[in-house]
Chains A and B, each alone.
Chain A
Amino acid sequence: MLLNEKLITLNGISKQYGKQEVLKSVSLTINRGDCIDLRGYNGAGKSTLLRIICGLITASSGERIVHYPNIVLGYAPDTLPNLRMTSTEYLTHMGSISGMPKHILLDRIKELHEFFYLEQSHTLKIVDFSKGMRQKVNLMQAILKKPDLLVLDEPLSGLDQESLKHLLVALKKIKDEGTAIVAAVHASTLADVLEFNSYRIDKGNLIRYTNEKKMTKQFAYELQCKLSTKCFTALKAQFPDVIWLNDGELIRFTVMQKDYRPFILQLTHEDGEIIHLQRKDITL
């Protein structure tokens, strides 16, 4: 096993959903032992890029080259669905599907339950788990078979402080064993603790942070608002960079720091009502 051995290369990958181009000519090489974290606001294309890396979805153009023929991938999506299975049943199925011998699999499942401090219940099903417990099972399935490349989509969401510490320790151990890790995250926690190489997806482009570049704290603001059509049209015209989504009767906006003050002023001036406001660390 050689460090710096190429695992996967993406050459000029673009991805379009309808008319919207989510990724624009993205190129990236992932070597064994690499640790990469992808940052960007909601809808920037992080999950899409991770799925392309795993070969789960195809790119609209560009090529994905797998250099290592028998590559073992581990993939943890942002959430694990509510399943009517116990964690042991679920992990046994996933391990069997990936071809793990039964005796090794059962020992590994026990080991992972102990590692993540999750009780190996024979009755409690995943559907009855808390979000944090489901997230642990999600990570357990991704590292069930030691992967050459571990791809994590928002691995820290829903975890309590204790579990967060365990996860960081687990990732450190996996990283030290030579597994490449690619993770999509909002905050800079992984980069701070595990010395990841940080990339940002901005308007479909993949931009690498260099060490010389000062990591300044930057925030995005998520607002859930109730507003008239007139107010919405005015805001859309005045703030083209603001991302918006229909959320039932409400509109959910993601506003970058530079637009935050004028956006709020304009919103309140047009009689818009803020129902919920949350600041998110998207340090670049």
Chain B
Amino acid sequence: MIALLSYLHRYIIRSYKFLPPSFVFIAGIVFIYSVVPNYVMNSYAFSTTFLFIVTVILCHMFMHIEILNQQFITVVHSNSIVKVFIAKVLYCWLFTMALAVFAIFYPVVIQAFNRQPSLEELAIAIVFHSISSFLAIAITCWFNKKFIRSQMLSFFSLSLFVVLTLASHGIGQSLPAEIMPIIYVLPPLNNMIDVLVNYDTVTWSYKAITLAGSFFYGLIFMLAFFYMINKKRL
């Protein structure tokens, strides 16, 4: 796995394709914290959402970064298509974790908050950013050229899915009660944001259920993806 991660790292870093989305994320964070002071958990709610969107873009790019012939070669050498895709998913998550660390600690370092965040708040911010990124990767895997032949179509349908996810609360309220449960198919990102925005008022059990629910939602999507990719191949 380390050999695969090391290869992907060199391949991706030398492609320079990661630069525009990473730059947008870093510039966005710097811009937001140029105005002070900011509320701690509300700011982390914003960066969690921002990370979700940027992770979707980065993951879609990383999944398609290898030319098909090179994918064949990598799979033959690693002797497992699932191993190759696990490495891609893991690399993407580690890459976005570097962005998450920046988003969490940059405002602390430049003292952009109205007060210094507690250790508990920092730990919660790390966990929520990690799960937001994991959730984004788990969904993006499915908008793969292996399942949707046209890369353009796969990206547009993924974008639509992200918009629906971000707007799920509003959509849920405007839907008739009988079909409202359909929004539970969408990733529970808004529930995570609610917890961060109302951090001081929600109970610990609600926080735990939201986190566990989001994690298992991502896990189910990801395991199903690995099962399908193993069945379908390249």
Contact (Cβ within 8 A) A97 B4: yes
Contact (Cβ within 8 A) B234 A97: no
Using A81-B67, A84-B14, A89-B10 as known contacts, say yes or no to A97 and B72 having CB atoms under 8 A apart. no
Using A73-B76, A96-B6 as known contacts, say yes or no to A57 and B234 having CB atoms under 8 A apart. yes
Using A58-B233, A81-B67 as known contacts, say yes or no to A74 and B76 having CB atoms under 8 A apart. yes
Could you say which residues of chain A place their CB within 8 Å of the CB of B70? 80-81, 83
How distant is the Cα of A85 from the Cα of B15 in the complex, in angstroms? 10
Could you say which residues of chain B place their CB within 8 Å of the CB of A62? none
Tell whether A173 is near chain B: CB-to-CB under 8 Å: no
- Smallest CB separation, B32 vs chain A (Å): 34
Contact (Cβ within 8 A) B73 A98: no
Could you say which residues of chain A place their CB within 8 Å of the CB of B4? 97
Q: Which of A56, A77, A141 contacts B233 (CB 8 A)?
A: A56
Closest to B230 in A: A58
How distant is the Cα of A85 from the Cα of B70 in the complex, in angstroms? 13
How distant is the Cα of A269 from the Cα of B75 in the complex, in angstroms? 50
Contact (Cβ within 8 A) A97 B69: no
Could you say which residues of chain A place their CB within 8 Å of the CB of B209? none
Q: Which of A54, A84, A89 contacts B72 (CB 8 A)?
A: A54
| A51, A56, A57, A84 interface centre (most CB from chain B within 10 Å) | A56
- Smallest CB separation, A189 vs chain B (Å): 22
Tell whether B116 is near chain A: CB-to-CB under 8 Å: no
How distant is the Cα of A84 from the Cα of B13 in the complex, in angstroms? 10
Contact (Cβ within 8 A) A75 B76: yes
* 0 or 1 for each of B39-73: is its CB under 8 Å from A? (1 = yes): 00000000000000000000000000011011011
Tell whether B22 is near chain A: CB-to-CB under 8 Å: no
* 0 or 1 for each of B209-234: is its CB under 8 Å from A? (1 = yes): 00000000000000000000001111
Could you say which residues of chain B place their CB within 8 Å of the CB of A83? 11, 70
- Smallest CB separation, A123 vs chain B (Å): 14
Using A58-B233, A81-B69, A85-B10 as known contacts, say yes or no to A93 and B76 having CB atoms under 8 A apart. no
* 0 or 1 for each of A140-152: is its CB under 8 Å from B? (1 = yes): 0100000000000
Contact (Cβ within 8 A) A80 B6: no
Tell whether A188 is near chain B: CB-to-CB under 8 Å: no
Which residues of B, 1-47, contact A by the 8 Å Cβ criterion? 3-4, 6-7, 10-11, 14-15
Contact (Cβ within 8 A) A80 B69: yes
- Smallest CB separation, A262 vs chain B (Å): 37
Contact (Cβ within 8 A) A93 B233: no
Closest to B16 in A: A84
| B4, B73, B231 interface centre (most CB from chain A within 10 Å) | B73
Tell whether A159 is near chain B: CB-to-CB under 8 Å: no
Could you say which residues of chain B place their CB within 8 Å of the CB of A141? 73, 77
Contact (Cβ within 8 A) B7 A96: yes
- Smallest CB separation, A82 vs chain B (Å): 8
Q: Which of A58, A84, A98 contacts B77 (CB 8 A)?
A: A98
Tell whether B78 is near chain A: CB-to-CB under 8 Å: yes
How distant is the Cα of A81 from the Cα of B73 in the complex, in angstroms? 11
How distant is the Cα of A216 from the Cα of B78 in the complex, in angstroms? 42
- Smallest CB separation, A267 vs chain B (Å): 33
Given A73-B79, A75-B76; 7 other pairs, CB 8 A cutoff:
A56-B233, A57-B234, A77-B69, A77-B73, A80-B69, A80-B73, A97-B3
Q: B residues near A, CB below 8 A?
A: 3-4, 6-7, 10-11, 14-15, 66-67, 69-70, 72-79, 81, 231-234
Shortest 9 CB-CB distances between A and B: which pairs?
A96-B3, A81-B67, A84-B14, A77-B69, A93-B7, A98-B77, A75-B76, A97-B77, A97-B3
